[in-house]
A and B are shown apart, each in its own frame.
Chain A
């Protein structure tokens, strides 16, 4: 990777921005090719594979029985974890979870949790004694840019196909996990001085701050995150927020189509 030449890359991104062009010839708000496949992991109760250009991400949902928190005896729990293991790219090192992977996990987790798409009360089996813990594990296999959106999409798609394995745990019949909406993330990176949608690896390398917006079915905001060094203006946010609305609608339709709706 061109880590030795970030300043040259920055100059090139600035030049392209003036021509309203991008390294791979895309328009400013144009995504790379996206594919979504669900039910693709044999041992997961819900699963999805997302590709965005050369970025590949898998998500798998597992369930476990646990005792509820004492202050919330009728609520189950949801946990979303993303692993940025060294398989994902040359720049990733082995070791304990990096700050980057923790940020990624938490941003994806917030978008899903705060949308309220999972009713925690519906995960209760015996109040005060037994509830379901839902765990979404996201595995990045190839990072060629914009892993946040890929992880967010894989997580919600996997969740929406999940079947609660009640029979295996001897607590009733297997049933589909109730997921009432489809929160979607859209991410923008400043490359060449202006924000672009679905940044490539090179744009991330030679770019500045990024902004992640997760929107619910009605277009409401459920999570926001600004990452990396840089500042932006309210006018810039207004512009990408409009774009986020459009892209989230498109991706939500993609999820619905994969579900057969």
Chain B
């Protein structure tokens, strides 16, 4: 986390600079089936973040050395478009995007019924078109809706959310300034029906109590986002049960 202490992030009345309450998340909009070329797709707008996910497969896994005899492998690529940030990003993978891709793939492998598709591969492409803190979470949410849109069997959806700490105060869903100048960030991937956690990262400084409160906020937000995900899938399939 960046330069703590030199930027005021909470107003005198305790509200945040963008007017949100401590446990209030940015608005989330989700649309399923946005990319005609893909087998499944979704666009998630979370605050000013825009994440698009495309799913291809299940398909033959090649090269053969990546095949698993008992299950499908999930091949995730998280990528930020060059124009997604204030300063242009040079195209191509970097260490950050490789790490996020890896842990996102492992999170998705924990919810997709991969054992139904031995020796195959499911490709998940996450493209960030606009980045304002929280893109990995928006990407996970988009990937989950895209997998469901592709008709791939899953134990549950998975929701990406984050809480953090600014000015010694735990808040839900850090925005850009709060992420840059805050003290901690706790992004998680939550299975909304089972209450399990499939994705977990954290950096900064949290006391055990602060961790518990941040996680409480995350579960609350996951429930809200889950409703938006289900609505998006219902809209896509004309009011069918999801």
A contact set with B: CB distance below 8 Å: 41-44, 47, 53-56, 58, 60-62, 64, 81, 83, 85-90, 94, 96-97, 135, 137, 139, 141-144, 168, 201
Contact flag A41-B56 (CB < 8 Å), given A60-B82, A135-B82, A144-B37: no
Please measure, in the bound complex, the distance between the C-alpha atom of A223 and the C-alpha atom of B47, giving whole angstroms.
41
Residue B237 at the chain A interface, CB threshold 8 Å: no
Residues of A within 8 A of B59 (CB): 90
Interface residues of B in 9-61 (CB under 8 A from A): 34-38, 41, 48, 50, 52, 54, 56, 59
Contact flag A87-B127 (CB < 8 Å), given A61-B83, A62-B88: yes
| Cross-chain contact A60 with B38 (CB below 8 angstroms) | no
Chain B, interface residues (CB within 8 Å), range = 20 to 34
Closest chain-B Cβ to A45's Cβ sits at a distance in Å of: 8
| Cross-chain contact B54 with A141 (CB below 8 angstroms) | yes
Please measure, in the bound complex, the distance between the C-alpha atom of A96 and the C-alpha atom of B129, giving whole angstroms.
20
Closest chain-B Cβ to A202's Cβ sits at a distance in Å of: 12
B contact set with A: CB distance below 8 Å: 34-38, 41, 48, 50, 52, 54, 56, 59, 77, 79, 81-88, 91-92, 123, 125, 127, 129-132
Contact flag A43-B54 (CB < 8 Å), given A94-B77, A144-B36: no
Residues of B within 8 A of A89 (CB): 37-38
Please measure, in the bound complex, the distance between the C-alpha atom of A113 and the C-alpha atom of B4, giving whole angstroms.
45
B127: nearest chain-A partner, CB-CB = A87
Please measure, in the bound complex, the distance between the C-alpha atom of A41 and the C-alpha atom of B88, giving whole angstroms.
13
A-B contact pairs, 23 of them (CB 8 A): A41-B50, A41-B129, A44-B84, A53-B36, A55-B36, A56-B36, A58-B81, A58-B129, A60-B81, A60-B84, A85-B127, A86-B77, A86-B125, A87-B52, A87-B54, A87-B79, A87-B125, A90-B59, A137-B91, A139-B129, A141-B52, A142-B37, A168-B86
Residues of A within 8 A of B91 (CB): 81, 83, 97, 137
Contact pick for A43, options B36, B85, B127, CB 8 Å: B85
Residues of B within 8 A of A135 (CB): 82, 88
Residues of B within 8 A of A61 (CB): 83
B36: nearest chain-A partner, CB-CB = A54
